[in-house]
Structure 1
Amino acid sequence: MAARPTVENPVVADAPAAPTRVGYGTLLRTPGAWTFLLPAFAARLPYAMLSMGISLLILGTHGSYGTAGTVVAIAAVAQALVGPQTGRLADRFGQAAVLIPSVLVHAVSVGALIALALGHAPTWTLFLAATPAGATVPQIGAMVRARWVAKLADLPPAHLNTAFAFESVTDELTFAVGPVLTAVIATTVTPAAALIVEAGLTLAGGLAFAAQRRTAPARLVPEPGVRQASALASPGVRLLAGVFLGVGSVFGGMQISVTATAEAAGQSGLSGVVYGIFAGGSMVAGVLYGLIAWRRSTQQRMLGSYTLLVLGCSTLWAMPNLLTLAVAGLVCGLAIAPTLITGYTLVETLVADGAKTEAFTWLTGAIGLGLAVGSTVAGRLIDMGGPWTGFLVPLGGAGLGLVALVTLRRLLVAPAAATRTVARGGSAVTSLVGASEH
């Protein structure tokens, strides 16, 4: 017979609650969710189109891989450095106030880059145009995550975990669809047309997303004389940004190394298939991750998924052919989405409400910067030692990230001051200004 939960025998009363599992259907029935998810997808799809679109355009007009790679790298670095600042401005002044001018400047900058390339302008002018084009890429993924935080603030943490899993899967989908769409337009029409579509989607999707002000998070107005601290002031955010640099190096190293391996094998057409399997593994893992009721802490899950990522990367360099490389890439990809989901979940707990969008953009920017650096270093290694040497970049980047994560994991424990602040019973814990967002 089961013991009664009396004062003398409080067995049932003290028993830990079973983990909550939240399905995607429940998440997507959240009131108002579809009003921002649909325009957000249109606005974030160009994020995965810009780099390839620039590469194909510059290759077609200037005929130089070096020039194309440098222009892409400049745009990526500008995005990585400026993106978090736009995220901070969005926290302070509201998403629409930042997003509308950003997408307008982006469209003009991409148009200038196209005109300069088609006019065979000097290389330095391409660099000048690529800088604002990259810097004004809208941080839609971070803004959507901030909206989920606001929408689910009063629900159990499992809802937010599922939301971040959904966003990770959406990111993977855009990176699967975006490059394919760019390549199809570039080959069937012109490379310039692919970038025109990129700019058009950014503008239309960004403006439509900005118009959904009811679901935007309330902006936080700091107290007079009190300076709002940057999200990067948190040691835990800095650690996660460094760790995500390692994830970005996996993306960058994989892209160029898979391409080089396929070309060396005389099967260049299969490079997209192999990389697609890698991305597909991540997408499947992301879907499953969001359906599991986790018992382990977020910090433990982060350490576990990142360890699996390093183990997966450790086999890539030794694969003898494209078939075995695809299998190894699949295993490696299975660790990507759980790492990203857990990282975004952790960073949400490390900063106050007024810095969440900025915090998300630091992680997104770190991935982009790691991708740019990883692809550059891998390319140089491949030139010197052959395709297999490029796979040392994912292993090295992820390995360094794991060392930092293990050594400094104590920084990922949320401070008491970073708990969510919500207005209850008419008494606001912090000064939230939402009227201007409605």
Structure 2
Amino acid sequence: MTLALTGSRATRQQKDQAVASKVPTSSPLPEMPTMSEPRKPGYRQLLATSGAWTFLLPGFAARQPFAMLTISLVLLVKHTTGSYATAGAAAAVTGVAMALCAPRAGRLVDRFGQRPVLLPGIALHATAVCGLIALALAHAPVWALLAAAVPAGATVPQIGPMVRSRWAAALDHSPALLGTAAAFESVTDEFTFVIGPVLATALCTGVHPAAGLAAEAALTVVGGSLFAAQRKSAPKVQHAPAGAGARQASALSAPGVRALAVAFLGIGSVFGGMQVSMAAFSQEIGDPGINGVLYGIFAAGNMLAGVVYGAITWRRGPRTRLLAAYGGLAVACAPLWLMHTAPLLGGLGMVVGLCIAPPLITGYTLVESLVPAGARTEAFTWMTGSVALGQAAAVTIAGLLTDRAGSHAGFVVPLAGTAIALVVLLGLRGRLVSRPRGVVAGGVIGHRPPVAVD
């Protein structure tokens, strides 16, 4: 028996030596691609993901009302009160309420699932919007309108974060496609904000001042119900381990998520500052109608960059890409206040739009890797809420500056917001390290434990 075992070991050793002799010792073994990791991830592979279309189309319909809410509210309140200041205040209250309440809604979704939270949420939102319409048409006092704007904003369904959570769950075994999914969602968001305001404006001006908000409420109910009906693609609820003894910590407790929230505040300042300052600039040059063209060019740049960014296979890590892209965004915002003609502002607006998508997409990609699966939706809502909060603050500050010193002063807001956020990101860059996925290479012995590198 001993001789047989010895002979067997010798035979195996000879085979191992024969195999080793065929592999050059000066170069490592080539890394073999796996079936779950496409070598060049792209939109074709992404859209071929099993079950993707079952939530993409309903998700697009369900997020459309979000792009209609602000402009519909502004046009209705302006019609009933005659004051842009009151209309802007109502819109700002709605945005702040959404930013503060969205993470709580996201945490409920992570805990109980999307459908149990979404269905009551769309009913509450539709009711709140109908109440706001009734108060506006009844010429209620300003304080009543502002009070009614709070629940209307607080109950906005967080469809975008829910769709991103479904992507994260569907691509759990194909992490290389997560960046492509983030790019696809960024493009979808921008496309939504191209269609939504146009539709809302047409309804408010061509049908009735309240038609935009009424359509927003109706689409919320229909689109949200269709999206909630897609149960198979919904991520599973991650229950806390038995005997844990404590509730799951908030996604914001992750230091990297807090750093990204600051970065997204800066991105929100670009959206808000550009909206107000471009509108004021158009008024100053005596051509208010060109505002839509200028903002459309800005949005087109964002969409184009999102499409291209998601189609590229990047060699640098997401942290390096985020810092470089954010620096580029701050630099692009710097000369905005110097623009004196519409063509120059349109061209620079295109550049700023091109610079927004890369940090936005990379930030969403990092979020997925910084938190556990049971806190994904909440983490995504913190990002969405940060953009909304930064936008609301920028609208307010830029409005005050443009009233006192003109549109050029308002264009300082995007620069200040991105510069401050960039300084914070550089200071906290050490926290933007992805959580290890716990993947162990089979058949490899004696290697050191994997570490997260950029």
TM-score, normalization by structure 1: 0.92
In structure 2, do the counterparts of structure 1 residues 61 and 159 end up closer, same or farther at CA, with 3 Å as the change threshold? same
Deviation sequence 1:319-364 (CA, Å, 0-9, x none): 1211100000100110111111100000111111110000000000
In structure 1, the partner of 2:218 is 200
Deviations 1:167-212 (A, max 9, x none): 0000000111111111111111112011111111111111110110
Output the CA distance in 2 between the equivalents of 1:19 and 1:409.
Answer: 29
| Residue deviations 1:57-80 (CA, integer Å, cap 9, x gap) | 000001111111111111101100
Q: Secondary structure at the match of 2:232?
A: helix
TM alignment of 1:4-403, pairs within 5 A? 6=22, 9-13=25-29, 20-155=39-174, 157-223=175-241, 224=243, 225-403=245-423
Q: Distance in 2 between matches of 1:191 and 1:142?
A: 30
| Structure 1 range deviating more: 210-219 or 119-128 | 119-128
| 1:106-127 Cα distance to aligned partner (Å, 9 max, x none) | 0000000000000001111112
Q: What amino acid maps onto 1:13 in structure 2?
A: L
CA distance in 2, matches of 1:127, 1:304: 40
Output the CA distance in 2 between the equivalents of 1:338 and 1:202.
Answer: 29
How big is the shift at 1:158? Answer: 2.1
In 2, the alpha carbon distance for the partners of 1:124 and 1:6 equals 81
Once the two structures are superposed, residues 33-89 of structure 1 have per-residue CA deviations (whole angstroms, 9 ceiling, x without a partner) of 111111111111111110111000000001111111111111101100000100000
What is the CA-CA distance between 1:29 and the residue it aligns to? 1.6
Query: Matched residues in 2 for 1:136 and 1:113: separation?
Result: 13
Between the aligned partners of 2:88 and 2:395, the Cα distance in structure 1 is 9
Structure 1 residue matching 2:192: 3-state secondary structure: helix
* Code of the aligned partner of 1:294: W
Alignment RMSD: 1.7
Deviations 1:272-300 (A, max 9, x none): 10011011001000000111010010001
Letter in 1 for 2:102: G
Determine the C-alpha separation between the residues in 1 that align with 2:138 and 2:109.
36
Looking at structure 1, the residues matched to 389 and 21 of structure 2 have their Cα atoms a distance apart, in angstroms, of 55
Distance in 1 between the 2:438 and 2:385 partners? 24
Distance 1:177 1:11 in 2: 54
Question: How far is the alpha carbon of 1:143 from its aligned partner?
Answer: 0.4
Give the conservation status (yes or no) of the 8 Å contact 1:5–1:13: no
CA distance in 1, matches of 2:38, 2:328: 24
In the alignment, the residues of structure 2 paired with residue 5 and residue 358 of structure 1 have an alpha-carbon distance, to the nearest angstrom, of 53
Distance 1:180 1:345, change over 3 A: same
Query: Any unmatched runs of 5+ in structure 1?
Result: 422-438
Aligned to 2:6: none
TM-score (norm. length: structure 2) = 0.89
Larger Rg: 2
| Structure 1 pair 111–308 and aligned structure 2 pair: CA distance change class (3 A) | same
Q: Which runs of 5+ in 2 are unaligned?
A: 1-19, 440-454
Partners of 1:5 and 1:11 within 8 A in 2: no
1:398 and 1:178 mapped to 2: Cα distance? 26
Change (3 A) 1:296 1:266: same
Opposite residue 193 of structure 2, the aligned amino acid is F
Between 372-381 and 16-25, report the one with greater CA deviation: 16-25
Asked if the contact 1:104/1:203 (under 8 Å) is kept, the reply is: yes
SS of equivalent to 2:240: coil
Q: Contact between 1:22 and 1:158, CA under 8 Å: does it hold in 2?
A: yes
Distance (whole Å) between structure 2 residues aligned to residue 264 and residue 64 of structure 1: 19
The aligned amino acid for 1:287 is V
Report if aligned partners of 1:317, 1:392 keep a CA contact under 8 Å in 2. Answer: yes
Using the aligned pairs only, state the percent identity: 54
Equivalent pair of 1:231/1:358 in contact (CA under 8 Å) = yes
CA distance in 2, matches of 1:85, 1:315: 38
